[in-house]
Copies of this chain bind each other. A is one copy, B any other.
Amino acid sequence: MIIKCSKAELIRGINIVSKAVPVRTTLSIQECILIDASSDIISLTANDMEMGIETIISGEIKEKGTIAVNAKMFFDIVRKLPESDVLIHADDAQNVAITCEKARFRILAREWEEFSRIPVVEMDSPMEISAFTLREMIRQTIFSISANDSNKIMTGELFEIRDGSLQMVSLDGHRISLRRIRLKNPYPDCRVIIPGKTLNEISKILTGDTECMVAICISDNHILFSFDTTMVVSRLIEGNYYQIDQMITKNYETRVTINRRELMDCIDRSILLVREEDRKPIILQTGDDVLHLQINTSLGSMNETIDIETEGREIMIGFNPKYMLDALRAIDDETISMYFMNSKAPCFIRDEQDTYVYLILPVNFVV
């Protein structure tokens, strides 16, 4: 194989596929990037068996062929080359020469036949959403997946198409995050669970471009995201996701309308006083058009008041400040509405159009 690409194009490609190179693995072939120039295009592929990424880079094929090279080593070398064209020359004995201006590296490739290609997902009638929207929906929900592997379903997100809407949902037993958009075109209903890791990595690759469209196809066990010249294929998590609709209610006894930024800054400060080991709640108490917030921990205490509009009964309720902060950060609205039933029932933060719902369970506290 002999190919010539610009350094910038190689870097761009490696940056994308390296998201699917496992950090730790016992199989050294999985640490590799496959460079496939066996047809008329040059593609880079990485695959950690849960997620595979393939991207096409522009370049010149002087001699067709395929190689697999250690991803980290290859990336490190290319990164340090001068900003110029890079010639990659591999002989049959797996010796790879990487030449760029006067710099010349020689490394050994791996047996590329051992490399696992990414699974094929049929590309018939994909659903399409913009890269910007997909990235935002991930950002606004990903934080409340569970880090704990003991319940596999909670480590992923529900991805559901129903009645012309797409909704993404995550929950970890303490809170639920839900985002919903109306789809422009009709698609058949579907309901799958995407691993959180896949969503995390995809959101790093996606540009915030509203013009760039992502085509999504779903097979029995896999989901394919296709955009620009990149394909991401991920396994789905098996199982039935929770019935979210049953957990979300529109009833309330108290409604608070508050400036999101003010509330967020206040809770952000309160976290300073919280040590990992003592999970002290932040206590919210409504008064005459003000919300009193206070926290008392072994490190000190904090008191603040924020102007609000209220409707309904007065309430005093405690929350894990971190959970509250995560939800507030995920919302873009300047003013938000919080709905309470009583001090033992969850708080809902949601908008009128139901494009987002954040549910947070309260915690007990002693005044």
Contacts and interface: CB of A to CB of B under 8 A. Distances in A.
Interface of A: 73, 76-77, 80-82, 102-108, 265-266, 268-269, 272-273, 299-306
B73 A299 contact: yes
A105 B73 contact: no
Given A80-B268, A269-B81, A103 B302 contact: yes
Contacts of A102: 266, 304-306
Given A106-B300, A108-B300, 4 more contacts: A103-B302, A104-B303, A105-B301, A106-B301
A306 B252 CA distance: 76
Contacts of A303: 104
The winner among A81, A105, A273 for most chain B CB atoms within 10 A is A105
B104 A302 contact: yes
B272 A104 contact: no
A352 to B, nearest CB: 28
A80 B105 CA distance: 49
Contacts of A82: 265
A333 to B, nearest CB: 21
Nearest to A266: B103
A299 B77 CA distance: 11
Nearest to A73: B299
Nearest to A106: B301
A299 B104 contact: no
